[in-house]
Structure 1
Amino acid sequence: MDSFFQAGTNNQLVVAFHGTGGNEYQLLTTVAELFPAASLLSFRGPVSEGAQRRFFAPLDNGQLDRRDFEQHVSAFLTKDWPSLEKDYQEVIFIGYSNGANFILGLLEQEPTIADTVILLHPSRLVYSFNRSSDTTILLTVGAQDTMSLPGEVLKLSEELKVVFPNTTLLFTDSGHELSEQEIVAIQKQLGGN
């Protein structure tokens, strides 16, 4: 998977996954606001839907193609992730929309892959979490979001709390976009990293 790396000045590594139609640079500003001293490793989704990049095949009638999804998750875990330098004190995963959903697939197979996971506007697809973890998970959703429905994200957060007890859901007044209100709420929740 293609990626972009930028060295930081502390012992944090932020691993970023963009939303549909984004690229490896989509979350640079967001990560810089949240973790200004961290190193950043940002991936570009390997699946193209026209000119738009994704991390797994589009939904079919609102349903996840589990076979395709698991193939992409497994490929990342067996090819991309093991080859990376991970000599960091803290690893943080952040994903927006399609990227957030991809991270949920990673957590299915490797629930301790990161110390902190930030899921920006994820969807409640069919996930299966079998092992618990003390990983901190933070989900965000906008009250006006028509793609990541607030009620469904609330249900997803409750499902995650069963195996990830350190799960928090943040609501904003926005739609399916990253807002300054959202960034401020995340900073406050994380204690001003």
Structure 2
Amino acid sequence: MSYIARKTEGTAGAPLFLTFHGTGGNETQFHGLAESLIPQAHVTSPRGDISEFGAARYFKRKAEGLYDIDDLAMRTTAMAAFIRAEKARAAASRVIGLGYSNGANILAAVAFLHPDLVDDLILMHPLIPWQPAPQPGLRGRRILITAGERDPICPAPMTQTLADYLSAQGALVTTAWHPGGHEIAQPEISAIQTFLAG
């Protein structure tokens, strides 16, 4: 399975920065943000290859918050292979992943099964409506979760459940909340800057 992707070549030895758009976005949604956050990074931004009434996604769903689990499993395996290939291509010793909404969900799904692939994860408004299996490989992984306290798509209690799960696996979890909904707010960008600086 191949992905249409936007790529920026960074300097030798620089990190690989992967970005994953939300439903209806594309490979340009966060590519420029990643370039500005770490100017010397290799940046790769794949476009989801599922079309939901013309909106690009990374995996199928049956309804809002109801995922096609079989399709998710297949797409997670394919995305893990893509990330592994990009990591080798860039010869990157550090990999950063940033995903929003559907993009955060595919990034998290990859981390649940292949925790060795991405070192630092930025999950913006994730929605994980299932209980992931224990994953000791997440120990020590740095993870930032950003969310809206009144997000109607990604309810705050489910976001907190995900944060609690990741912490229980030994991941180093930071959460950043804003008082709004599913939109990306400036405090989230500030939290990402602080997270990457750390």
Q: What's the TM-score, normalizing by structure 1?
A: 0.90
Return the match for 1:76 from 57, 76, 79.
Answer: 79
The structural deviation recorded for 1:175 is 2.0
Q: What is the CA–CA distance in structure 2 between the aligned matches of 1:112 and 1:127, rounded to whole Å?
A: 20
The structural deviation recorded for 1:127 is 4.2
The structural deviation recorded for 1:51 is 1.3
The structure-2 alpha-carbon separation of the partners of 1:12 and 1:83, relative to structure 1 and needing over 3 Å to count, comes to closer
1:47 aligns with 2:53: no
Task: Report if the CA contact (8 A) 2:48-2:58 is conserved.
Answer: yes
Q: What is the CA–CA distance in structure 2 between the aligned matches of 1:61 and 1:188, rounded to whole Å?
A: 32
Runs of at least 5 residues in structure 2 that lack an aligned partner in the other structure = none
**Letter in structure 2 aligned against 1:144:** R
The structural deviation recorded for 1:191 is 2.6
The structural deviation recorded for 1:169 is 1.2
Task: Report if the CA contact (8 A) 2:21-2:101 is conserved.
Answer: yes
Dislocated runs of 4+, deviation >4 Å: none
Q: What's the TM-score, normalizing by structure 2?
A: 0.88
The one-character-per-residue Cα deviations of 1:165-188 (angstroms, maximum 9, x if unpaired) are 311111123321222221112212
Classify the secondary structure of the residue corresponding to 1:83: helix
1:87 aligns with 2:81: no
**Letter in structure 2 aligned against 1:160:** L
The one-character-per-residue Cα deviations of 1:132-151 (angstroms, maximum 9, x if unpaired) are 22211111001232111122
2:33 corresponding residue in structure 1:
30
Alignment RMSD (CA, Å): 1.8
1:57 aligns with 2:65: no
1:2 aligns with 2:4: yes
The structural deviation recorded for 1:56 is 0.3
2:117 corresponding residue in structure 1:
113
Paired residues in the alignment total: 191
Return the match for 2:105 from 101, 104, 118.
Answer: 101
Runs of at least 5 residues in structure 1 that lack an aligned partner in the other structure = none
Give % identity: 31
The structure-2 alpha-carbon separation of the partners of 1:129 and 1:164, relative to structure 1 and needing over 3 Å to count, comes to farther
1:159 corresponding residue in structure 2:
165
The structural deviation recorded for 1:12 is 1.2
